[in-house]
Structure 1
Amino acid sequence: MAERDDPHLVETTLSRQELLRGHFLHVVREQVALPSGAEASREFVIHPGAVMIVPLLDDGRVVLERQYRHPMGRVMIEFPAGKLDPGEDRLECARRELQEETGYTAREWALAGQLHPVISYSTEFIDIWFARGLSAGTRRLDEEEFLDVFAATPQQLLDWCRDGTVTDAKTLIAMLWLQNVLAGTWQLDWRP
């Protein structure tokens, strides 16, 4: 349903104030007019967008990462992902991130969909890409990036999602996609 169908729900921006512009985060506060005519304040993060890759090995396993996430204070299990560079094509970003983080390149790619992980306080979107026909190669991690790459069966990943081992939102959503793709319920349009 489009916004034009919901004018009674739409807020209108009256002004914007920049609160923080860091290396990664850009935080703003907007004064908005509510549908009732009253005013309210909204603070949120402006994010350039990202990609996540569900890499499928020929033996049916998926490629995952274990990475320490400082805000959580723990090592998380997740699919490879990364932020879009300014002006970067989304598929090119997915190819770059897969190779940099895991060392793999893929023969075929399919765009599954898009998710918005934190709609209450960020403009972030994440494109969900599937990759298959993987070939192993050399990783090129960023200087400040430390992670382990490993493979698991879809069933193992599903179990980790169910028992709380995996709590990363993008990986939970990717598991939903993976489960439906493997069941034949959701189709992917593969391309080289």
Structure 2
Amino acid sequence: MPSLPKILQCQQVAQSKLFRVEQLQLQFSNGEQRTYERLAGGKTAAVIIVPMLDNDTVLLIREYGVGVEGYELGLPKGKVDAGETHMEAANRELKEEVGYGAKDLQLMKCLSQSPNYMQHKTQIVLARNLYPERLEGDEPEPLDVVPAKLSELEQWIARDDLTEARSIAALLLARQYLQDLK
């Protein structure tokens, strides 16, 4: 495996309320130089939660996605606030978006998103032993909570309104993990 490219220059070329774009001048181990752009990562991490109501029932949420201009099914997710651990953030987001807390939280895997263009990473957290508890969230409208069976995951994934890659990957990983426990 070649050595990592050397960063010759890195500068911010754009910024909005949510995003910061950096332009990087890279030199590869073979001497080739290229200019890359990336969405720079923020100071906070993110979590996506797989809330298991029982060993086969996962709780999805339906919310508006402005990127696809439609309502999408997916897993609850959000950023890790300053001073929070991944587990604390996962339990808070679960309470805000689904109306449940979890007594059993387990980190499963860290996912990158478009690693050629983004620094963002998301921790997948499996949530079990749920109990009802609701916290007020920052969503502009109430989210629909939709129970789905992991044993029917292929049918759910085939739907036109379940397209987010992180949710699909997290569901597949959780299903395999829970099957391995049997």
Structure 2's unaligned 5+ residue stretches are: none
CA contact (8 A) 2:55 2:178 kept: no
Structure 1's unaligned 5+ residue stretches are: 1-5, 188-192
Query: Which one has a larger percent strand, Structure 1 or Structure 2?
Result: 2
Q: Alignment partner for residue 57 of structure 2, among 43, 57, 61?
A: 61
Once the two structures are TM-superposed, the CA of residue 102 in structure 1 deviates from its matched residue by 1.2
Counterpart CA distance in 1 for 2:15 and 2:147 is: 37
What residue in structure 2 maps to residue 190 of structure 1?
Answer: none
Once the two structures are TM-superposed, the CA of residue 177 in structure 1 deviates from its matched residue by 0.9
**Aligned CA-pair RMSD:** 2.0
The 1:88–1:41 alpha-carbon spacing in structure 2 relative to 1, beyond 3 Å, is farther
What secondary structure sits across from 1:130 in the alignment? strand
What residue in structure 1 maps to residue 117 of structure 2?
Answer: 121
Aligned residues: 180
CA contact (8 A) 1:103 1:140 kept: no
Counterpart CA distance in 2 for 1:145 and 1:123 is: 29
Once the two structures are TM-superposed, the CA of residue 80 in structure 1 deviates from its matched residue by 0.6
TM-score under structure 2 length normalisation: 0.89
What residue in structure 1 maps to residue 37 of structure 2?
Answer: 43
Matches within 5 A, 1:120-159: 120-142=116-138, 144=140, 146-159=142-155
The 1:136–1:125 alpha-carbon spacing in structure 2 relative to 1, beyond 3 Å, is same
What residue in structure 1 maps to residue 67 of structure 2?
Answer: 71
* CA deviation profile, 1:12-46 (whole Å, cap 9, x unmatched): 11111112232221111111112221211111112
Matches within 5 A, 1:88-107: 88-107=84-103
TM-score under structure 1 length normalisation: 0.84
